[in-house]
Amino acid sequence: MELYIHIPFCVRKCRYCAFTSFVGQEAFYEEYTDLILKEAEIRLDEASGPVHTIYLGGGTPSLFPASLLRKLITGLRKIYPIEKNAEFTAEANPGTVSELWLETAADLGVNRLSFGMQAFQPRLLQILGRIHLFEDVVRSVELSRSFGIHNISLDLMFGIPTQNCQDWTETLNMALMLHPVHLSAYGLIPEDGTPLYAELQNGSLTLPDPDSERQMYDDAIAILRNHGYIQYEISSFARKGYECRHNIGYWTQVPYLGFGVSAASMSHIHREQNGISYIRRTNPDTLPLYSSMIRTNAVNYVSERISPSEARFETLMLGLRMNRGIDDQNFLKMHGLPIEACYGKKLSALEKEGLLTHEHGSWKMTRRGFDIQNSILVELMD
């Protein structure tokens, strides 16, 4: 089982961010900590086995005071059995990381840090609304290692307005100078309701053309491969043995509980005659509604039963994100049906088009398939 804890607080909201996060809520931090711990206790009966990964996401977990971080993690450890070698990730903003926070995180068992570097160039960081510069990334990485945390991931973004291929190559090379063991390379997706989206709509900013964006992705694959990083998912690259276990859990439908405002969960896996079903739950996305739900133990969350046919499609959708694809035997074991019995004709048709391959008992997307993955998933829908 996995745990996700959402820390929804930021110094300033990034201009592209559509995640649930809030600015100027410092007075609520301690109360929020208590609410998460209470939620964790209330939902203990949803747990399925010991915890083997924990992920603190945000928002900006590195903004959370060290004393409250200690209270939160110590409390969770008292409620849930956490494996000794559990992967414990915390997201961190290079503009907010302090020595005390890192020292506390390391002492509490955090053994993996994910830093949002995004870009090297100051003008691109300004367009994104980031509060850090590359010098802050360097300082944060060095400090992390001084406290014994060497499993470091850097998030990078391509397809930013005004960004060109030279900018992107420079960003990759500067990130590689810091020798992270994991890199994520995401294409910017402008989200409706964000300031960046509004500027793109009114024409004050423009995105790179599709050919340039594709070239940036190709350059990332080539440059990172040449430096010894294995691409194990569409946007994820790692040194051997440093793949993110938590994210792989999501992609392989490992049960997880999410605590905090807007956090999602997947639990109550049930084996039925025609496959598996499970419950997906999403917490309220405002602090007042979340607080009310926990204090009164009310059912303010959104709950959805995922049927066996929907679970099969999710295996397909999530599995094809990964370079290893979907193993025939794993699909059969999980769902009680061969993958060909569910999707055989469609898979074969996509294979003939050069979008999928079937090798060594696994279905995988080709490089061309990754480019149009959404279209492929539409084709595979029941």
Domain shared by 124 and 22, yes or no: yes
Domain shared by 245 and 317, yes or no: no
Asked whether residue 277 is assigned to any structural domain, the reply reads no
Asked whether residue 268 is assigned to any structural domain, the reply reads no
Rounded mean pLDDT, 44-72: 96
pLDDT category at 282 given cuts 50, 70, 90 is very high
Domain shared by 113 and 190, yes or no: yes
CA 232/CA 238 separation, integer angstroms: 7
**Residues 269, 273, 275, 281, CA torsion sign:** negative
Asked whether residue 269 is assigned to any structural domain, the reply reads no
Q: What is the pLDDT of residue 379?
A: 86
CA 367/CA 370 separation, integer angstroms: 5
CA 364/CA 366 separation, integer angstroms: 6
Q: What is the pLDDT of residue 210?
A: 93
Residue 375 has pLDDT above 80, yes or no: yes
Q: What is the pLDDT of residues 177-236, one digit of tens each?
A: 999 999 999 999 999 999 999 999 999 999 999 999 999 999 999 999 999 999 999 999
pLDDT category at 380 given cuts 50, 70, 90 is confident
Q: What is the pLDDT of residue 141?
A: 98
Domain shared by 55 and 199, yes or no: yes
Residue 56 has pLDDT above 90, yes or no: yes
Query: Among residues of the chain, what percentage have pLDDT more than 70?
Result: 100
Residue 118 has pLDDT above 70, yes or no: yes
Contacts of 217 (CB under 8 A, 6+ apart): 158, 185, 187
CATH at residue 344: 1.10.10
**Exposure class string for 267-277: b at 16+ Cβ within 10 A, else e:** bbbeeeeebbb
Going by the DSSP 8-state scheme, the letter that residue 337 receives in this structure is S
Cβ–Cβ under 8 Å, residues 266 and 283? no
Domain shared by 24 and 140, yes or no: yes
Instruction: Give how far the C-alpha of residue 307 lies from the chain's centroid of Cα atoms, to the nearest Å.
Output: 24
Half-sphere exposure of 107 (CA within 13 A, CB side): 12
What is the pTM assigned to this prediction?
A: 0.95
What is the strand order of the sheet 2-7 is part of?
230-233, 236-238, 182-187, 151-158, 112-118, 82-92, 51-58, 2-7, 256-259, 264-272, 275-282, 302-306
Domain shared by 103 and 218, yes or no: yes
Range of the domain at 122: 2-249
Q: Which of 158, 82, 59, 84 is nearest to 118 (CA)?
A: 158
In the chain, which residue ranges form alpha helices assigned H by DSSP? Answer: 29-42, 66-79, 99-107, 122-128, 134-146, 165-176, 195-202, 210-226, 245-251, 287-296, 308-319, 328-335, 339-352, 367-371, 373-380
Residue 82 has pLDDT above 90, yes or no: yes
pLDDT category at 382 given cuts 50, 70, 90 is low
Q: What is the pLDDT of residue 101?
A: 98
- The SS3 of residue 211 is helix
Contacts of 224 (CB under 8 A, 6+ apart): 172, 176, 183, 185, 231, 237
CA 63/CA 152 separation, integer angstroms: 18
Domain shared by 68 and 176, yes or no: yes
Asked whether residue 205 is assigned to any structural domain, the reply reads yes
Q: What is the pLDDT of residue 76?
A: 97
> What residues pair up with 97 in beta bridges, in sequence order?
none
- The SS3 of residue 325 is coil
98: which 2 tokens?
Answer: 């302090």
Domain shared by 106 and 228, yes or no: yes
Tell me the one-letter amino acid at 183: L
Domain shared by 209 and 74, yes or no: yes
Q: What is the pLDDT of residues 2-23, one digit of tens each?
A: 999 999 999 999 999 999 999 9
Cβ–Cβ under 8 Å, residues 291 and 31? yes
Domain shared by 243 and 162, yes or no: yes
CA 314/CA 300 separation, integer angstroms: 25
CA 186/CA 177 separation, integer angstroms: 19
Q: What is the pLDDT of residue 299?
A: 87
Of 197, 219, 249, which marks where a domain is finished? 249
Average pLDDT, the chain: 95
CA 216/CA 146 separation, integer angstroms: 33
Of 206, 221, 249, which marks where a domain is finished? 249
Residue 372 has pLDDT above 90, yes or no: no
If one compares 306 and 371, the residue with the highest pLDDT of the two is: 306
CATH at residue 31: 3.20.20.70
Of 228, 249, 270, which marks where a domain is finished? 249
Strands 230-233 and 236-238: antiparallel
pLDDT category at 52 given cuts 50, 70, 90 is very high
User: For the chain, first and last CA: distance in Å?
Assistant: 29
Q: What is the pLDDT of residues 131-157, one digit of tens each?
A: 999 999 999 999 999 999 999 999 999
Contacts of 327 (CB under 8 A, 6+ apart): 361, 362
* Number of domains, the chain: 2
Instruction: Give how far the C-alpha of residue 121 lies from the chain's centroid of Cα atoms, to the nearest Å.
Output: 24
Asked whether residue 288 is assigned to any structural domain, the reply reads no
Asked whether residue 54 is assigned to any structural domain, the reply reads yes
Asked whether residue 290 is assigned to any structural domain, the reply reads no
Asked whether residue 241 is assigned to any structural domain, the reply reads yes
Domain shared by 31 and 178, yes or no: yes
